[in-house]
Amino acid sequence: DTAVSQTPKYLVTQMGNDKSIKCEQNLGHDTMYWYKQDSKKFLKIMFSYNNKELIINETVPNRFSPKSPDKAHLNLHINSLELGDSAVYFCASSQGKGEGPRGYTFGSGTRLTVV
């Protein structure tokens, strides 16, 4: 029973397209995140939602729009995809700000390739 699940696992698309990545967690956490891992494996936070409210919005192009229909789901929509958007996108969740003993739980990632 996967705790944080993302779909799709792989996504190959052409430049200029619009795509979405979905994330769901069944841990009962109230906070969810999107992280981006670039080709050099560097991980950086993009967004965070707490109970459907946006609380962290890093310097990310406005082509990226997160949506949280409820506290168990956080989707990432990307408009007008560019080559530089190719990366692995990780969803994560936590209770509160991750200060509990288990911290943050990550999904297995979505590898996005823009061609």
Q: In angstroms, what CA-CA distances link 89 with 57, 99, 100?
A: 15, 23, 24
- The distance of closest approach from Cβ of residue 86 to another protein in the complex, given in angstroms and rounded to an integer, is 15
Closest CA to 93 of 51, 59, 44, 64: 51
- What would the x/- binding string for another protein be over residues 93 to 112, using CB under 8 A? -x-xxxx-xxxxxxxxx-x-
Distance CA 104, CA 19 (A): 26
User: Restricting to residues 42-81, which ones interact with another protein according to CB under 8 A?
Assistant: 42-45, 48, 50, 55-56
Instruction: Name the residues that contact another protein, by CB under 8 A.
Output: 4, 31, 33, 35, 40-45, 48, 50, 55-56, 90, 92, 94, 96-99, 101-109, 111
